[in-house]
Structure 1
Amino acid sequence: MIYTVTFNPSLDYIVRLDAFKTGAINRLKYEKILCGGKAINVSIVLKNLGVSSIASGFTVGFTGMEIKRQLKDVFNCSCDFIELPQGNSRINVKIKADSETELNGQGPNIPQEAIEALFQKLDGLKKGDFLVLAGSIPNTLPNDIYERILKRLYPKGVSFVVDAEGKLLLNVLEYKPFLIKPNNHELSGMFGKTLKTAPELIEHAKILQRRGARNVLISRGGDGAILITEKGDCMTAPAPKGKLINSVGAGDSMVAGFLAGYLSSGDYKTAFRTGIAAGSASAFSDNLAVSKDVNSLMEQIIL
């Protein structure tokens, strides 16, 4: 089974307009409210590709209830969130006009008892299970929460997928995550230098691999992606052709596509192609990737 953990899930209020002007009344052309969070997006796209998972994390209040309702009733996902004692799950505003602007809420306080409740849930994972940890953490959580979880579950033989930035990612490499997915900017940030070319990205991805990561998937936006596998293979592919509509969730969709492709085939080449197609399908749509669009885009990806 695949388990995903979103520490600070949200309701995303997504709006579109021709131009966004500060200090003025702006009339919307499009609006939608969707449950959000990187690992939640992974669960949704996995389900769209026919793979079940259990979404977990922390929710609270009327916004938390709506997050769980959408996951169950709209996206047909299983979830097992821990309900916090007070507050509300955050609301994020995504403004899409001549440029993209985001206003992200802080989220609720997460007490120690809730953290312990999460640990107890995760203790039920076993060898053969996958655990997806994705995204930043709220300031009410200890900054080593990723590391504590992997250290706790590593002896069980759980396969970890980690999509995070900076020290959140670097500090868990010793626990040999099955997959990490930095984008080119995040990889640059980890090494304190600008990495632009494919050879530069590959060189530094291999450093992360030597530190413990089994497979490193680098998303490069419109420039495609790179995969360095635990078998020593290095694959590169351009992005499929299409119109960028929504970049939110594209990286999460790539993670979900990679997992779905790998679990269906046991083959990293298939996983890589499915990951690129899923990420692109989300980028080319108002919504997260669905199977029909992923299959169509895969025809463009030739390694």
Structure 2
Amino acid sequence: MIYTVTFNPSLDYIIQVDHFTTGQINKTTYEKILPGGKGINVAIVLANFGHESTALGFMAGFTGKEIEHRLENFGCSSSFIQVKEGLSRINVKMKSDEETEINGMGPAIQQEDIDKLFDQLKVLTDQDVLVISGSIPKTLPDTMYEQIIEYVQPNHCKVVVDATNTLLMKVLRYHPFLIKPNNIELGEIFDVTLNTQEEVLPYAHKLQELGARNILVSMAGQGAVLLDENGKEYRLPAPKGNVINSVGAGDSMVAGFISGCIESNYDYEYAFLKGVCSGSASAFSENLCTKEEVETLMNIMK
């Protein structure tokens, strides 16, 4: 089973406002509501590929119930911890002459809620994959990633981490199965600018020396690189297409890589190809990628 953890899931209210002006009434010309959060995006793409997964995390109030309902509509299972105080957040993403985002706070997560999440993680085995991604809300300790990975280590499940800078660096000593920084995030870790695949690879090796098993680095229009746990390097250019919406592309790449591993019995070259094509297929669409869209790109890229 694949489990995803989203600490602060949301309802994303996506709107278009022509020539937004402050201090006046502005009317939308387009609107859509989607369940949001990096782990949730991974779960949706996995469902599109036909894989079962369970979305874990925290939810509260009527917005939390709506997140669960909309996930069900995507064919995803969830087992969120119901938090007593507050509401699951609503994030407003407005497209106008400039793009603007307003993100909600999320519920007040208590220690008893954290304990319930850890109880859920007891069932994980070496046959399971655990995806931890996204930021940590203020009501959680900044050591949550470390606590979770240390807790599940005796079960030998495969842990996937998609986080930035300090959060990522602190978990490397636990030897996560996969990490997925982008080239900008990787550069920030080592205080360098990384523009090419050749520049990225030495720093991927540094992360491997620090403990990561597989390092997948996304580079937007420059494609991606993979350093697998056997020390083999892979490079792919970005598939050609018209970028419509890059939100969720990185999460789709993670889902595609996991899916590719499962389908091929951990043939990393195949998993890398599926990951890259999944990220691009989502970027080329208003929605997260479908199985058919990814297979079309994979056939082109082979």
Both structures adopt the same fold (TM-score exceeding 0.5): yes
Aligned to 1:139: 138
Secondary structure of the equivalent of 1:12? strand
Shift of 1:29: 2.5
Provide the rounded CA distance (Å) in 2 between the counterparts of 1:255 and 1:35.
18
* 1:200 aligned partner, one-letter code: E
1:43-192 matched pairs, under 5 angstroms: 43-72=43-72, 74-192=73-191
Are residue 264 (structure 1) and residue 246 (structure 2) matched? no
Provide the rounded CA distance (Å) in 1 between the counterparts of 2:256 and 2:21.
37
Cα distance per residue 1:229-252 (max 9 Å; x no partner)? 111111111111111111111100
1:276-291 matched pairs, under 5 angstroms: 276-291=276-291
Identity between Structure 1 and Structure 2 (%): 55
Cα distance per residue 1:36-69 (max 9 Å; x no partner)? 0000000000000111100010000010000000
Aligned to 1:235: 234
CA change 1:99–1:224 in 2 (3 A) is farther
CA change 1:146–1:274 in 2 (3 A) is same
Are residue 38 (structure 1) and residue 38 (structure 2) matched? yes
Cα distance per residue 1:107-153 (max 9 Å; x no partner)? 11100000011011111111121100000010110000000111111
Aligned to 1:214: 213
* 1:291 aligned partner, one-letter code: K
Secondary structure of the equivalent of 1:69? helix
Provide the rounded CA distance (Å) in 2 between the counterparts of 1:226 and 1:22.
43
TM (norm. structure 1) is: 0.96
Secondary structure of the equivalent of 2:300? coil
Shift of 1:188: 1.3
Provide the rounded CA distance (Å) in 1 between the counterparts of 2:243 and 2:24.
27
Aligned to 1:300: 300
Shift of 1:99: 4.1
TM (norm. structure 2) is: 0.96
Is the CA contact 2:85–2:107 (under 8 Å) kept in the aligned structure 1?
Answer: yes
Provide the rounded CA distance (Å) in 2 between the counterparts of 1:22 and 1:197.
40
Backbone CA RMSD of aligned residues: 1.2
Provide the rounded CA distance (Å) in 1 between the counterparts of 2:285 and 2:136.
27
- The 4+ residue runs of structure 1 with deviation greater than 4 A are none
Q: Which runs of 5+ in 2 are unaligned?
A: none
Secondary structure of the equivalent of 2:28? coil
Shift of 1:101: 2.4
* 1:188 aligned partner, one-letter code: G
Shift of 1:193: 2.2
Secondary structure of the equivalent of 2:259? helix
Provide the rounded CA distance (Å) in 2 between the counterparts of 1:103 and 1:133.
23
